[in-house]
Chains A and B, each alone.
Chain A
């Protein structure tokens, strides 16, 4: 069926405008269908390819779905204990200041188990990049409640919805760390539409470039879906995310060049 609409005359190598980057290992990604991790992995690898720093980049993936990243990223990767990626990144960056170091963490990892490491690494102003995938749930372990789970949102461990009187309020860790003097660039993006994915890629590019300036932590939050954990189809999950996640986690830059961006 597909062959009927093939335009063979333009299928030539010189006409390629987009193809999967070679920095992703040539094997199927083991994320669920429609998961934002796939796009996040790819735009991160595209950024590194465009900057030409494949041999000087060290990635750290701790526990959660983000741990799978080291199977797919064709660069030097290290696995960290749960939540401890910023601490490991600190050590690597201090030992190899000319290398580019990034951590790739989920919300259960960065905002729950690794809160202390994250906040202290950001407060010390380590010259690293933190990529934070926020899907408001513990995806890998079966959809339990995370600190970032929205009020009233149903998960496996709060089947009647998150009750803030018992379970506390959702944690806006990105706003929290943007107040710290050690952060240089803090932004929140998403990857569910082409325009958002392109913006997120620009933000990641800026975050990696900032490591040359030696000014502090660059922090990129990517609000993502977890269609398996939310029990939705990918397109439903993206729509739900736009309607429910974005009002609470508004997209945009929070801190650029070390200065807080004023909200209009």
Chain B
């Protein structure tokens, strides 16, 4: 069966740390970093490998900082 795997890239300098993506993600891939970006926000980071590329996080991100990749693997 073909499996889908996904990946996200977060533009951490644009992230405002609102945590909306964190609740939108069905696989708990996103968490907030302990570090802050240059604006002082705790930015979103990827914390595991369960991403399926469903784009939920990117759709709700108010600042559009998330780019989603998805590919099928055999």
Interface: A95 (CB within 8 A):
no
Q: A33 near B7 (CB under 8 angstroms)?
A: no
Q: B69 near A15 (CB under 8 angstroms)?
A: yes
Chain A min CB distance to B70 (Å): 5
**Residue ID in chain B nearest A27 by CB atoms:** B14
Q: A18 near B66 (CB under 8 angstroms)?
A: yes
Report the interface size for chain B: residues with CB under 8 A from the other chain. Answer: 39
Q: A197 near B17 (CB under 8 angstroms)?
A: no
Say which one of A4-12, A120-128, A138-146, A210-218 lies at the interface with B. Answer: A4-12
CA distance A233 to B17 in the complex (A): 11
Given A5-B48, A7-B7, A10-B5, 7 extra CB contacts under 8 A:
A5-B47, A6-B7, A15-B71, A18-B59, A38-B63, A194-B60, A234-B18
Given contacts A2-B46, A10-B7, A197-B59, contact A17 B64 (CB under 8 A): no
CB pairs A–B below 8 angstroms (8 shown): A5-B46, A6-B7, A10-B5, A10-B7, A12-B69, A15-B71, A17-B70, A18-B68
Choice from B9, B12, B41 contacting A33 with Cβ under 8 Å: B41
CA distance A19 to B14 in the complex (A): 14
Q: Mark B31-69, 1 if CB is under 8 A from A, else 0.
A: 001000000010001111101010110111111111111
Q: B19 near A18 (CB under 8 angstroms)?
A: no
Q: Which residues of B contact A39 (CB under 8 A)?
A: 59-62
CA distance A100 to B61 in the complex (A): 27
Given contacts A7-B7, A15-B71, contact A34 B19 (CB under 8 A): yes
Q: A11 near B9 (CB under 8 angstroms)?
A: yes
Task: State the A residues within 8 Å of B (CB).
Answer: 1-2, 5-7, 9-12, 15-21, 24, 28-29, 31-39, 42, 191-194, 197-198, 233-235, 238
CA distance A21 to B64 in the complex (A): 8
Given contacts A10-B6, A12-B69, A193-B24, contact A235 B46 (CB under 8 A): no
Q: Which residues of B contact A194 (CB under 8 A)?
A: 24, 55-56, 59-60
Top 9 nearest A-B pairs (CB, nearest first) are: A38-B62, A34-B18, A33-B16, A20-B64, A33-B18, A194-B56, A18-B68, A10-B71, A18-B55
CA distance A98 to B7 in the complex (A): 41
Q: Which residues of A contact B9 (CB under 8 A)?
A: 11
CA distance A131 to B53 in the complex (A): 30
**Residue ID in chain B nearest A197 by CB atoms:** B59
CA distance A238 to B21 in the complex (A): 12
Q: Which residues of B contact A197 (CB under 8 A)?
A: 59-60
Q: A2 near B10 (CB under 8 angstroms)?
A: yes
**Residue ID in chain B nearest A13 by CB atoms:** B69
Q: Which residues of B contact A234 (CB under 8 A)?
A: 18-20
Which of B33, B58, B62 has the most chain A CB atoms closer than 10 A to its own CB? B62
